[in-house]
Structure 1
Amino acid sequence: MRVVLNLLGLFFVALGVIGIFVPVLPTTVFLIIAAVIFARFNPEWERRILAHPKFGPPVRAFRERGVIGPAAKIAAVGGMAVSSVIGFVTLRGVWAFVPAGVCLLCALYVLSRPSQ
């Protein structure tokens, strides 16, 4: 089980790294998930994520105080808006509204988090 969870943590780190280069894919969210997994099963890798000069501070802020910075909120909600429009244009029937509904719920959560 430990190996599976370490692989899962690495998978989320990989998604986070891909998110650095793909604008609509979130980086910090995947690193937060990876840090949560590693906290229990690989503390050294958790420490590495938390010590990272660029991504460590937002991960720590979210874990300690539930904070999502203003720039991250704008990027997240903007990405969700774009995804919702793409879903509305490309999907048919009731499915065209599903991405917007999911993104609306996620955006409400993101916007409800403290900024500082």
Structure 2
Amino acid sequence: MAERALSEEAVVAGLQDIRLPEDAPGGVIAEMLAGAGLGLSLALLVGLALRTFAPVRGPAAEAAPVSGETARRRALLLELRERRPEVYARLRRDLYRPGGLPDVAALETELARDA
């Protein structure tokens, strides 16, 4: 019977929370800081692992090269936005719809009306 009492005590002692001793310097604050340090260390390790094994994605601008006509259209739209905002507001509604981009000639005509 004595062996069983000792083994139960050993099990109970093993199940207790891992904590700093009561007389440890810093007390509860030191225990909270130790827990925060362990949590931050684990987060750092997980972050490094994710960064190592995650696929690398480049910026979208590198994926799609811009043609000369697209660059010209973009420059004309920016100029139209500055010089004739009411026309730009009308064109802006359709810019992101399929086939909604205005022709370069139409943009140049709108800008010529301003001059």
Instruction: State the structure with more CA Rg.
Output: 2
Structure richer in helix, relative to its length: 1
Normalised TM-score (structure 1): 0.24
Normalised TM-score (structure 2): 0.24
